[in-house]
Amino acid sequence: MNKQFTIPSDTYSYSDVVRFCVLNEKAKYKGKGVPFTAILPSGPLPFGILQNPYLFVGVKVVLKDETILALYVSKEKMMVDTNQYIKDRMDAEKIKEVIKDMCEI
């Protein structure tokens, strides 16, 4: 059975997925270049380390051909440890579990 998933850009086969993870992408880099190359930690940030610590939560999916897909959960940029951040991280973890179950990785 060829299990597939669809995102706005195209349809992909779960059998092509080689790895995936939940990440935080710096807001100012979303949509600019390869997804999830500018990431932020999921825990508290040291004071003063960033002037603009806004981010988007998503799931990074890497395919066999090294294509990187970004499944963004966050609709708006946010900061770590806000209620919306916690909800988006939980939603992203659920998506990750679905992918894990479908890929049998």
pLDDT of residue 101: 92
- Alpha carbons 35 and 90: distance in angstroms, whole number: 20
Residues in the chain predicted with pLDDT less than 50, given as ranges, are none
pLDDT of residue 11: 94
Q: Are strands 55-63 and 39-40 parallel, antiparallel or unpaired?
A: unpaired
Identify whether the C-beta of residue 24 lies closer than 8 Å to the C-beta of residue 80. Answer: yes
pTM score, whole prediction:
0.85
Which residue in this structure is represented by tokens 């040291």? 46
pLDDT of residue 8: 84
Residue 18: name the closest of 63, 69, 59 by CA: 63
pLDDT of residue 72: 95
What single-letter amino acid sits at 38?
A
pLDDT of residue 62: 96
| Local structure of 69: helix, strand or coil | strand
pLDDT of residue 9: 82
